[in-house]
């Protein structure tokens, strides 16, 4: 791809899962880069997107009329932590919250599955990031048969209704599935084992879950097919190459914030009458 076409790449249009589209993840290349290469043009484009994101977050915070919710999902080692660290590196932490969702606590398990999620939705003016999310309740719960199928099978519609409610109340939702290959996951696990600074991230459960790769693939396909809506679209982000993952996500977030057409609020005082 030529440099001019790289500059014109609309990552949102290229990577979105359109509502109603059938998804077969083996047909999506986790190595895809849409013609981009890891070179100075890519670095310039990434820096530009991060700069836009910084300015737009400030505008979102100042306007204080809506929020942005970013959902990150992916198999182990897909790069959820890395995406947060790199893409959100330039934003003001005062207006950004990150919520990881692990095994529900005793209190959380005593409520409906969306209770803990709704509590973590960002307030107006903020960007909220979910590291895993309510989708675990149609992923790990389904794969490991933690609740009966008649229970989890109803949750797709419940999730869509929940997200539609958020959207109707000025919470914009972006959902990113970080797509890596099974070989890439194995490579990243091996790198963690070899790196003393990252060994702490390895657990026996990581390797045990690899046995369910096909089951998780099927579960994610249903999530992407059934829960990508106009209110809350899914994006499949090829993530074998971390630099492309960061490039794509940063552009989509910046493009989305720009589409909100936010405005600074009017001053609460007559600035012309202020004397210093």
Task: For the chain, list the domains and their CATH numbers.
Answer: 3-262 (3.40.50.300)
Q: By 3-state DSSP, what share of the chain in percent is helix, strand and coil, each rounded to 5?
A: 50, 10, 35
Torsion sign across C-alpha atoms 28, 76, 173, 61 = negative
CA 33 to chain centre: 18
Residue position matching structure tokens 């994006």: 235
Q: Report which of 91, 112, 106 is spatially closest to residue 155, judged by C-alpha positions.
A: 112
pLDDT one digit per residue (tens) for the chain, 276 residues = 334 444 578 999 999 999 999 999 999 999 999 999 999 999 999 999 999 999 999 999 999 999 999 999 999 999 999 999 999 987 888 899 999 999 999 999 999 999 999 999 999 999 999 999 999 999 999 999 999 999 999 999 999 999 999 999 999 999 999 999 999 999 999 999 998 888 888 888 888 899 999 999 999 999 999 999 999 999 999 999 999 999 999 999 999 999 999 999 988 787 777 777
187 vs 210: CA distance, rounded Å: 13
> Contact, 90 vs 53, CB < 8 A?
yes
Q: Report which of 97, 106, 232, 102 is spatially closest to residue 162, judged by C-alpha positions.
A: 232
Q: Provide the H-helix boundaries in 169-239.
A: 182-194, 204-209, 213-226
237 vs 11: CA distance, rounded Å: 10
pLDDT score, position 1: 37
pLDDT score, position 200: 85
Q: Is 60 helix (H, G, I), strand (E, B) or coil?
A: helix
Q: Report which of 11, 5, 52, 87 is spatially closest to residue 248, judged by C-alpha positions.
A: 11
The answer for residues whose C-beta is within 8 angstroms of residue 33's C-beta and 6 or more apart is 238, 241, 244
pLDDT score, position 90: 78
DSSP state of 99: E
Q: Is 54 exposed, middle or buried (0-12, 13-18, 19+ CB in 10 A)?
A: middle
């Amino acid at each position: 791809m030529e440099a001019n076409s790289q500059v014109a790449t609309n990552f949102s249009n290229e990577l979105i899962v359109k509502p109603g589209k059938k998804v077969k993840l083996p047909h999506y290349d986790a190595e895809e880069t849409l013609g981009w290469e890891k070179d100075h043009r890519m670095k310039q484009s990434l820096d530009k997107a991060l700069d836009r994101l910084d300015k737009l977050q400030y505008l979102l915070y100042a306007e204080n009329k809506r929020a942005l919710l970013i959902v990150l999902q992916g198999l182990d080692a897909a790069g959820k932590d890395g995406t947060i660290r790199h893409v959100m590196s330039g934003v003001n932490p005062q207006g950004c919250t990150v919520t990881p969702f692990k095994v529900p606590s005793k209190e959380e398990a005593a409520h409906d599955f969306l209770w803990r999620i709704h509590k973590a939705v960002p307030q107006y003016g903020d960007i909220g990031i979910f590291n895993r999310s309510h989708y675990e309740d149609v992923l790990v719960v389904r794969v490991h048969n933690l609740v009966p199928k008649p229970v989890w099978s109803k949750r797709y519609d419940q999730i869509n209704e929940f997200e539609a409610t958020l959207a109707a109340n000025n919470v914009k939702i972006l959902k990113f599935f970080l797509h890596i290959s099974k070989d890439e996951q194995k490579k990243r696990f091996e790198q963690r084992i070899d790196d003393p600074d990252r060994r702490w991230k390895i657990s026996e459960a990581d390797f045990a879950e690899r046995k369910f790769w096909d089951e998780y693939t099927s579960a994610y396909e249903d999530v992407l097919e059934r829960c990508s809506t106009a209110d809350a679209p899914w994006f499949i982000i090829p993530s074998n190459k971390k630099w492309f993952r960061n490039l794509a996500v940063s552009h989509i977030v910046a493009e989305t914030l720009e589409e909100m057409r936010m405005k600074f609020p009017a001053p609460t005082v007559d600035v012309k009458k202020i004397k210093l």
